[in-house]
Amino acid sequence: MSQFRKLCAIVLMASQVTVPGLLFSFAQAEPVTVDPVEAGKRMYREGILPSGQPLRAIVQGDIEVNGSQLNCMSCHRRSGFGSSESGTLVPPVTGKALWRGQEMRRQQQFTKIMTGRAQSANSQLMRPAYNDETLAQAIRGGVTSSGRTLDPLMPRYIFSEPEIEYLTAYLKSLSEKPSPGVTDTIINFATVITEGVEPGKQKAMVDVLERFFNDRSAQSRGETARAQRGPWHRDWIDGAYRAWVLHVWKLSGPRETWREQLDSFYRSQPVFALIGGIGTGNWQPIHNFCEANELACLFPATDYPVVSETNYYNLYFNKGVTLEANALTTYLTNIKPGAKEPVKLLQVFHSDQGRSVPAQALNKALQTHGTISISQQAIEDTGTLTAAYWQTLIKQEQPSILVLWLDDKDLHSIGAGLNTANGIEEIFISGSLIEQPFKSIPKDIRDKVFIVHPYALPEANARGIMRTKPWLRSREIESPYLRLQANTLFSATMTGMVIRRMLDNYSRNYLIEKMEHMVENAQATGAFPRLSLGPGQRFASKGVYIGRFSSEAEDKIIPASKWITP
């Protein structure tokens, strides 16, 4: 082969190997388009730079640290409206707060004038408005637009020019305008009712919400006028007023279509938040819809809430039947007399619509306890629960403990089925699923029945129940579902209290944050003995009682345990 041909062959082989690599290199070298607001959002919320690296900063004067825990949201919160912790005030960093100078509130000026401590009503400037340069100085160097040095707790971030521009772009957009569902005069709310909810329950819940909304409108007839021409020292309150409008979203058909229906409702009329709501089976479709749209869902009536580490916008009363299963585990393994003795436990539950959740939770929790052997029976049709069914099941399984994750209509034949059954020492039923235990549980087996009860015991006269009764009576609303109505009234009342404290900052994130701080101060707590939330907490009630039927009174539930918090 000639030298020329050898050279051509070498070049050809080299080209076959290197050309794809060269093409790949060129492809890699193409500039990546960065959305400044989205990049800044990730820096703010997650503490991650566009490069994928965690944030870096100087703390305590000269210590360089790095990590995603340096994200801004940890202190300034997702809304950007700040917080306070142990006497330290974390100021707001929203676009409106930063790019507008801080002024003394007009009611403060009014107080000074009336007490003779000020001679002028002119606003007193407390801090000049930030611009891009002074904000960068504050973030990097810890010096405000007025020249004041920030608290040492505020990290001095190490940002490149593009990185500071990304964060600045996001801060300008943060809570810049009201969330969807809010206009200059109206706040739109919705409540969700799913397929399968009894008509009586639907009416009971909607009646409470509609009357609450009507009362709110009637009590504030002058608010609209005051919002337009109120006294100057009250414009910070009066100007924040909005009328409330309620929309009822009813979901029908297969559960797989609910998300599409919710999207359609929302496109037709965006709402600021969902208040209350009621559903059968798993709440997952509504939960996912709210998380995807960053829409607050406030205390729906569901026994099957979504228990998730990433939940932000869904606030629940408790973990539903999952909480009951975990509390029952604590009772059976640590509290119940003879808890260490070997026993056989049988669970009966529905297999559809996610209603196997409590059985799965109890089974998982008891796996590590060798003294309790578990068997399970899933049912598909309530019609199969005849007396003969129960007799056959008990004879076959021979349990000493029976756990029933069933509702009132499932237990119509349990008395006849268990009358002749020997060996069953205890029967545990769900206090959430059973709404009328005195009608559903026959008298001749009540001495064996225990109720996993997540609500205030009747003898305790829950504050929410006691306040709900006269409220309903004064409005001539029937109360066949008092527990549901008390919880619905709590949801609406709590939302009203929080909205008032938000003034004109109609941000859904701020709504959630105010809820976290204010729930524990509620005077009426629905059907629960106590409710509280904190940053990141999404379940307001954390425990249950184990109750039982009183042997002295036919219509009384008494505690068989203290409040159990698993």
What per-residue confidence (pLDDT) applies to 19? 38
Is the pLDDT at 26 greater than 60? The verdict is no
| CA proximity to 466, closest of 518, 523, 520, 519 | 523
- If one counts every other C-beta atom within 10 angstroms of the C-beta of residue 150, the result is 15
pLDDT > 70: what percent of the chain? 84
pLDDT > 90: what percent of the chain? 58
| CA proximity to 208, closest of 478, 538, 443 | 478
Triad 201, 204, 207: Cα angle to 5°? 145
Cα–Cα dist 471/465, whole Å: 10
Bridge partners, 83 (sequence order): 90
Cα–Cα dist 430/433, whole Å: 5
Tokens coding 219? 């009590």
Is the pLDDT at 343 greater than 70? The verdict is yes
What per-residue confidence (pLDDT) applies to 227? 52
Buried b (16+ CB within 10 A) or exposed e, 458-493: eeeebbbbebbeebbeeeebebebbbbbbbbbbbbb
pLDDT tens per residue across span 107-162: 455 455 555 544 444 444 577 899 999 999 999 999 999 899 998 889 999 999 99
The residue behind tokens 């409005």 is: 475
DSSP string covering 85-145, please? ETTEEE---SHHHHSS-EE--HHHHHHHHHTTS-S--SPPEEEPPP-HHHHHHHHHH-B-T
What per-residue confidence (pLDDT) applies to 100? 83
What per-residue confidence (pLDDT) applies to 233? 42
| CA proximity to 151, closest of 143, 159, 140, 160 | 143
Cα–Cα dist 5/451, whole Å: 92
- If one counts every other C-beta atom within 10 angstroms of the C-beta of residue 299, the result is 25
**Which class for 359: exposed (0-12), middle (13-18), buried (19 or more C-beta within 10 A)?**
buried
Model confidence at 6, in pLDDT bands (50, 70, 90)? very low
pLDDT tens per residue across span 476-534: 999 899 999 999 999 999 999 999 898 889 999 999 999 999 999 988 899 999 999 99
Residues 6+ apart with CB under 8 A from 470: none
Triad 242, 314, 169: Cα angle to 5°? 70
Is the pLDDT at 420 greater than 70? The verdict is no
Bridge partners, 345 (sequence order): 374, 401
**Domains by residue range for the chain, with CATH:** 36-82+90-173 (no CATH), 186-317+461-528 (3.40.50.2300), 321-453+546-559 (3.40.50.2300)
pLDDT tens per residue across span 59-113: 888 888 998 999 999 999 999 999 877 777 888 999 989 998 765 555 455 455 5
Q: What is the pTM of this model?
A: 0.86
Cα–Cα dist 296/472, whole Å: 26
Sheet with 56-59, edge to edge strand ranges:
63-66, 56-59, 156-157
Segments of 409-538 assigned E as strands: 426-430, 449-453
Mean pLDDT confidence for 562-566: 94
